[in-house]
Amino acid sequence: MQAMKSALLGAVLLLLALAAGGAVTPPCPAPQSPRNINPRAVPSPYNGRSTHSIVESVSPSQDEVRYWPRGAAGPIETLYRCSQHYPVPVEDVQGCAAETEVITPPGTPPARVPAPGQWIEVHTAYASDKPPVPCPDPESLDCCKGKTVLVLGFSATVAVGGGDQPILTPPSRRLAEWSGSSTGPDKEGPTACKEPAAAWSFRLGCNFKVGEAQLGKHFPGGPQAARAVQGGARVSRDLFLVTPKP
């Protein structure tokens, strides 16, 4: 537990330092994630606004999505859920209070579920190839194959108790969308480049919650360490603030 706490704290400090600097070198072949997606930040990190989301529709179970790349005339592509995992604390900072803090109450026994009140970020990944059933490791990207990878993301605080129902990406009136990469711990250092390339559609909001029982049921591997916010030449220039039409 102490090792995980130290790793998470180190990730947070690095995240804050890099976010303040706004740039990390060298640039990467594919644009990197995570991003500063704070819609109230000055200057704004956004490159534009849109009423069109790259996610045309999501099935009721959220096992499939219909993906429409920004600016493309078509065709719309069906993508299949291939992974779900979560870092602690959040990676994509949107300006919510205490979102980058790690909560570890004194005397906490070793556990795979973060403490109530802890901020987490949930990533549900989709790819153009149908994954094997069952996927050997659904908390990694090992089953995400094909020409397209899309990530639906949102941040939430951990709630006490709760049921063990599936963790679904909530609806939101505002989205942040961009071209980026996978995330997760930088095993080769903070200047490493992440692959694969991924399109991101992130639900903005500071009031989402995920229950302890949900995390324990669906994430037996526990949380991942957060990657630092990327910047400078490492990020794309297509970060859009999206307000989809009803």
Q: What is the pLDDT of residue 11?
A: 47
Which token pair is 156?
């939430």
Cα 108 vs. chain centroid, distance in angstroms?
Answer: 26
Question: CA 76 to CA 68: how far, in whole Å?
Answer: 5
Q: Residue 123's domain spans which residues?
A: 2-242
Supply the CATH number for residue 150's domain. 3.10.200
Which token pair is 33?
């994630």
In angstroms, what CA-CA distances link 148 with 67, 82, 145? 9, 12, 8
Count of Cβ atoms closer than 10 Å to residue 22 Cβ: 13
Residues of the chain scoring pLDDT < 50 = 1-24
Question: CA 175 to CA 121: how far, in whole Å?
Answer: 15
pTM across the whole model: 0.88
B/e letters for 111-147, b = 16+ CB within 10 Å, e = fewer, are: eebbeeebbbbbbbbbbbeebeeeeeebbbbebbbbe
Q: What is the pLDDT of residue 27?
A: 84
Which token pair is 240?
């859009």
Number of domains in the chain: 1
pLDDT digits (tens, 9 = 90+) for 186-198: 888 888 999 999 9
